[in-house]
Amino acid sequence: MFRKKSLLIGINYTGSQHALRGCHKDVENVADFLSYRGYSSDPRDQVILRDDRGGPYYPTGHNMLAAMDWLVSEPNTCCFLHYSGHGGQVPNRDRDSGYDDTIVPVDFERNGQIPSGVLHRHLISRLWPNSTLFVIFDCCHSGSALELPFLFRTDDEGNLNMMSGLQQGMSILDHGYSLISGGFDMSRAADAKQLYSEASSFFKSLSGMGRGNQGPGVSEEHFQNDWSREHKWVCMFSGCRDDQTSADANIGGISEGAMSWSFLQVMKQSPNPTFVETLQMTRSILKRSRYNQVPQLSVGVPELDFNRPLFL
Q: How many whole angstroms separate alpha carbon 262 and alpha carbon 280?
A: 11
* Active-site residue, from 23, 140, 235, 240: 140
86 is catalytic: yes
222 is catalytic: no
Q: How many whole angstroms separate alpha carbon 157 and alpha carbon 103?
A: 30
State the DSSP H helix or E strand holding residue 119, giving kind and residue range, or none if neither: helix 116-120
The sign of the CA dihedral 20, 26, 27, 28 is positive
Q: How many whole angstroms separate alpha carbon 60 and alpha carbon 51?
A: 9
* Active-site residue, from 24, 78, 79, 86: 86
- In 3D, which of 194, 143, 147, 155 has the Cα closest to residue 173? 194
φ, ψ of residue 186 to 5 degrees: the values are -65, -40
Print the SS3 string covering 17-35: CCCCCCHHHHHHHHHHHHH
Q: How many whole angstroms separate alpha carbon 116 and alpha carbon 135?
A: 14
- Give the Å distances, CA to CA, from 311 to 54, 96, 170, 230, 288: 32, 35, 30, 19, 27
φ, ψ of residue 278 to 5 degrees: the values are -65, -45
C-alpha angle 293-17-118 in degrees, rounded to nearest 5:
60
Which residues are known to be catalytic? 86, 140
